[in-house]
Amino acid sequence: MSHNSFGHLFRVTTFGESHGPALGCVVDGCPPRIPLTAADIQAELDRRKPGQSRFTTQRREPDEVRILSGVFEDERTGGQVTTGTPIALLIENVDQRSKDYGEIRDKYRPGHADFTYDIKYGVRDYRGGGRSSARETAARVAAGAIARKVVPGLLVRGALVQIGPHRIDRANWDWDEVGRNPFFCPDAKAAALFADYLDGVRKKGSSIGAVIEVVAEGVPAGLGAPIYAKVDSEIAAALMSINAVKGVEIGAGFGAAELTGEENADEIRLSNDGTPLFLSNHAGGILGGISTGQAIVARFAVKPTSSILTERRSVDRFGHDVDVQTKGRHDPCVGIRAVPVGEAMVACVVADQFLRHRGQVGQSSPWPFPRI
């Protein structure tokens, strides 16, 4: 019940501060006999790690992961598989330049958790934001790499769909493009625009917000745990728990407020093979908190980093008015690296719901339904 864990049957507990010796997580509840190596996890971590383009922080962290437990050799293949016991993952911090943070030791950056951590705990590791740093999300991405393997056929992908005032053109959406630009942007034209725009932001020492979309395909119909652990409710919690996220929506999202019942209805027809086929997906793949079998579509909004060069008015921890300017190394748009983090969180929710569904219901009903 303490609060550095998420999930129920697939349960992840993270630990670590930005400038402490290490960070990591324990993944508890992963089913046994799933092939898993450090390389599987490293591949996902490498997508999130900093310093890969001029658009993210220049901190150099290899983010190398070690598996400390929970895997063992498969005698037939010589490869490694999960054993059903907790999988501990460790990532050592390497490039901590703690001297950068002398300035913010006593002064509260407006919009940052410095202030609230001090209010709550009366002590904090101020170096690089300590526990409130986005470095914690490396552990999420590592856990997500395992979650992806739990649900057969699951494919979770994310994309940056807006930076500041600039949105992608959905007509240009190309998943292959996501891996080709430093923004995880599915629209090549928009990516070019993002680069120009973000260069301006970066040079001014400013920062900007963004919107990310995560799409999970291959989610079996029937997952979800009404009433208070609906798939959408858990995705909302998971995404909102990511640093700097201020909004989450599913399917039509806030746009649904402007729709009529006629417009919003996702009509259904039988497909040629006799299974139900939805003719649209305003629901974002979830009805009544339960997956429909369509793609789950979630979006989340990330605010601009509070670490900027321009001075802002604030107070210090001794009770004085001060002005704060943040030098250090920071992401001008934390939304970019939030893409793999959002994917990881959705993957973890789906994996957890999958295991819970299998536990409570055994398996979904066949369709058409000879009810009972």
Rounded-to-integer distance, Cα 35 and Cα 332, Å: 37
On whether 307 is known to bind a ligand per the annotation, the reply is yes
- DSSP secondary-structure letter at 109? P
On whether 186 is known to bind a ligand per the annotation, the reply is no
Q: Contact at 8 Å (CB) between 328 and 149?
A: no
Question: Is residue 74 a contact point for a second copy (CB under 8 A)?
Answer: yes
What pairs with residue 215 in β-bridges? Answer: 157, 297
Q: Contact at 8 Å (CB) between 147 and 341?
A: no
Question: Is residue 14 a contact point for a second copy (CB under 8 A)?
Answer: yes
Residue 325 structure tokens:
């300017």
- DSSP secondary-structure letter at 129? G
Length of the chain: 372
Residues in 285-304 that interact with a second copy by CB under 8 A: 286-293, 301-304
Residues in 326-355 that interact with a second copy by CB under 8 A: 335, 355
Q: Give 77 or 171: the residue with its C-beta nearer to a second copy.
A: 77
What is the C-alpha end-to-end distance of the chain, expressed in Å?
36
Question: Is residue 203 a contact point for a second copy (CB under 8 A)?
Answer: no
On whether 288 is known to bind a ligand per the annotation, the reply is yes
Work out which of 75, 176, 196, 273 binds a second copy, going by CB under 8 A: 75
The residues near 203 (Cβ < 8 Å, ≥ 6 apart) are none
At its nearest, how many Å lie between a second copy and the CB of residue 89?
10
Q: Give 97 or 176: the residue with its C-beta nearer to a second copy.
A: 97
Question: Is residue 13 a contact point for a second copy (CB under 8 A)?
Answer: yes
Q: Give 176 or 321: the residue with its C-beta nearer to a second copy.
A: 321
Total residues at interface with a second copy (CB under 8 A): 172
**84: phi then psi, degrees, rounded to nearest 5:** 90, -10
CB neighbours of residue 258 within 10 Å: 9
Question: Is residue 7 a contact point for a second copy (CB under 8 A)?
Answer: yes
On whether 244 is known to bind a ligand per the annotation, the reply is yes
Residue 170 structure tokens:
């959905």
Residues in 34-53 that interact with a second copy by CB under 8 A: none
Residue 140 structure tokens:
């999420």
* Apex 52 CA angle, 16 and 186, nearest 5: 105
- Candidate segments 38-46, 50-58, 116-124, 173-181, binder of a second copy by CB under 8 A: 116-124
- Candidate segments 56-64, 69-77, 94-102, 169-177, binder of a second copy by CB under 8 A: 69-77
Residue 62 structure tokens:
């290899």
Question: Is residue 369 a contact point for a second copy (CB under 8 A)?
Answer: yes
Question: Is residue 241 a contact point for a second copy (CB under 8 A)?
Answer: yes
At its nearest, how many Å lie between a second copy and the CB of residue 216?
16
Q: Give 22 or 94: the residue with its C-beta nearer to a second copy.
A: 22
Give whole-number Cα distances, 22 to 143, 214, 362, in Å: 16, 29, 39
Locus of tokens 């030098």: 327
On whether 97 is known to bind a ligand per the annotation, the reply is no
CB neighbours of residue 2 within 10 Å: 5
**Which strand (E) or helix (H) includes residue 324?**
strand 321-324
Work out which of 87, 156, 159, 341 binds a second copy, going by CB under 8 A: 87
On whether 306 is known to bind a ligand per the annotation, the reply is yes
Residues in 245-274 that interact with a second copy by CB under 8 A: 245-270, 274
Q: Give 172 or 280: the residue with its C-beta nearer to a second copy.
A: 280
CB neighbours of residue 272 within 10 Å: 6
Numbered residues of the known binding site for NADP(+) = 48, 54
Numbered residues of the known binding site for FMN = 131-133, 243-244, 288, 303-307, 329
